[in-house]
């Protein structure tokens, strides 16, 4: 899959971060009424946008692997997509 296709498939579904590990890494979040416990963060990166930075995390839960991110300008968390 090309990088362009990956960005086209990226979602922006709001999530609620419930807990952090080491005051930085996400540990638990809620999406569409379901709670997800993160057992590993496999990648972390930052993307710079015109409106500010976004911190991305590829997280592993028993339900699957997800890309979630924090929009620092809005102080809001989103699900970018599920990794296959």
Checking if the pLDDT of 9 tops 70, the result is no
pTM score of the predicted model: 0.85
Q: Are 59 and 82 in contact (CB under 8 A)?
A: no
Q: What confidence category does residue 7 fall into, taking pLDDT thresholds of 50, 70 and 90?
A: very low
3-state secondary structure (DSSP) of residue 64: strand
Q: Bigger pLDDT: 8 or 46?
A: 46
Q: For the chain, where are the alpha helices, taking DSSP H only?
A: 3-9
pLDDT over 70 at 66, yes or no: yes
What residue spans define the domains of the chain? 10-83
3-state secondary structure of 73: coil
Tokens found for residue 68: 């979630």
């Amino acid at each position: 899959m090309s990088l362009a296709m990956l960005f086209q498939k990226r979602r922006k579904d709001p999530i609620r971060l419930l807990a952090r590990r080491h005051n930085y890494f996400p540990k638990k979040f809620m999406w569409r009424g379901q709670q997800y416990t993160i057992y590993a963060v496999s990648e972390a990166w930052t993307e710079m946008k015109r409106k500010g930075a976004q911190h991305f995390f590829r997280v592993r839960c028993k339900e699957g692997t997800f890309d979630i991110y924090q929009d620092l300008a809005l102080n809001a968390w989103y699900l970018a997509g599920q990794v296959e």
